[in-house]
Amino acid sequence: MQFDVFGIENPLIDLLVQVPEEFLERMELKKNHMMLIDERRHQFLLDQLEDRKVRAEPGGSCANTLLGIAQLGGRSAYCGKVGHDANGQAYIDKLEEAGVTSFIRADGSRTGSTVILVTPDAARTMNTFLGASQELSAADIPLAALKASRLLYITGYLWDTEGQQEAATLALRTAVGEGIHVAMSLSDPYCVRRHKEAFLDILDRYVDLVFANREEALELTGTDSTHAAMLALRRWCGGAAITLGGSGAFVTRGDEHAYLDPFPVKPVDTTGAGDAFAAGFLYGVTTGASLFQCGRLGSYLASRVIVQTGPRLQGDVRAALAPVLDDPRP
């Protein structure tokens, strides 16, 4: 196989900025959630932040995960669409510099971006202008590269436009037809509310492993406990991972179940925690690790990411994860 994980989603420039709680109130934003915004609202928020330091990085949930896999030594590839502009080219260049093979099309309108507002408690509130990413279509999917992959990874964000849905559906059908495993992240509670019935159908028809935080899992399954949500998810797909923030994670696959205790850290910025968990977990899957070890890899990578600013771990990631990568436990 040419790639361990092939991902499809929205290539977005992340614009991270520290703000006080009152800024969210003044902007009438719901804390710790993702909102889709138009270009006008996007520019308005940037204007309100002009006196603050803004850190720009290539982002997007799926890209964060694929970068994490590459940092761990896995072979990952990414498909999406950016604008034919400086931000789009910079995105592609930095992605490939980080070891991810790019199948990004750079022929859309303005490259999309997410304004990520980080409050003192490390919560992040995301305001996403999709820009060119929402112009992805079925014709943009490189089927030969997908067929040369061990696993397809998608996120729920792809269901926000008709063209993206068609692209994702083609990829899903191709993967299942080729015997390629499929993993999906539910992305965001609002995303689940917008597309609940579609997600349930997708899990049932295509998905082998689903990633969700507790709020997303409860929203999708209509249950009121993590245990009930896990049982419900198991009825739709064979594996599931529910992250519980500072309370750890619960994972299941086939007849196996495991609870992962949290690694004790003091969060600085929780941006990308779920993406990091998925990166560690999927790397474990593609290297034949046990369910418990997959969960440990995901949990530990997430714990390292949230003690810094930004969605991806800096420096030698394999060295940082050595306590878990070299752990002999099954």
- Residue 144 belongs to a domain with what CATH number? 3.40.1190.20
What pLDDT digit, counting tens, does each position of 285-308 carry?
999 999 999 999 999 999 888 888
Q: Is the pLDDT of residue 326 over 80?
A: no
- For the beta carbon of residue 125, count every other beta carbon within 10 angstroms: 20
143 within domain boundaries: yes
The whole-number average pLDDT for the span 259-283 is: 89
Residue carrying structure tokens 């305001």: 127
- For the beta carbon of residue 189, count every other beta carbon within 10 angstroms: 21
80 within domain boundaries: yes
The whole-number average pLDDT for the span 105-122 is: 90
pLDDT value of residue 153: 98
The whole-number average pLDDT for the span 260-271 is: 85
Q: How far is residue 137 from each of residues 112, 169, 284, 322, measured CA to CA in Å?
A: 16, 10, 31, 40
If we measure between CA atoms, which residue out of 19, 96, 80, 75 comes closest to residue 50?
A: 19
Domain that holds residue 191: 3-10+60-110+131-325
177 within domain boundaries: yes
pLDDT value of residue 59: 85
Q: How far is residue 324 from each of residues 134, 235, 268, 287, measured CA to CA in Å?
A: 37, 31, 22, 14
Q: How far is residue 119 from each of residues 142, 144, 207, 232, 262, measured CA to CA in Å?
A: 39, 43, 35, 34, 22
The whole-number average pLDDT for the span 137-151 is: 97
User: Residues of the chain with pLDDT > 70: what percent?
Assistant: 98
- Cα 192 → chain centroid: 14
209 within domain boundaries: yes
Residue 321: which pLDDT band, with cuts at 50, 70 and 90? confident
pLDDT value of residue 330: 60
155 within domain boundaries: yes
pLDDT value of residue 328: 58
124 within domain boundaries: no
Q: Which residues on adjacent β-strands are paired with residue 81?
A: 105
Q: Which residues on adjacent β-strands are paired with residue 57?
A: 14
Residue 199: which pLDDT band, with cuts at 50, 70 and 90? very high
Residue carrying structure tokens 């594996």: 239
Cα-only R_g, the chain: 18
Q: Which residues on adjacent β-strands are paired with residue 249?
A: 243, 260
Q: What is the mean pLDDT of the chain?
A: 91
What pLDDT digit, counting tens, does each position of 211-255 carry?
999 999 999 999 999 999 999 998 899 899 999 988 999 999 988
- For the beta carbon of residue 193, count every other beta carbon within 10 angstroms: 11
pLDDT value of residue 54: 87
What pLDDT digit, counting tens, does each position of 22-38 carry?
999 999 999 988 888 99
Residue 9: which pLDDT band, with cuts at 50, 70 and 90? very high
User: Residues of the chain with pLDDT > 90: what percent?
Assistant: 70
311 within domain boundaries: yes
Residue 104: which pLDDT band, with cuts at 50, 70 and 90? very high
307 within domain boundaries: yes
Q: How far is residue 171 from each of residues 65, 99, 124, 168, 180, measured CA to CA in Å?
A: 18, 22, 30, 5, 10
Report the number of distinct structural domains present in the chain: 1
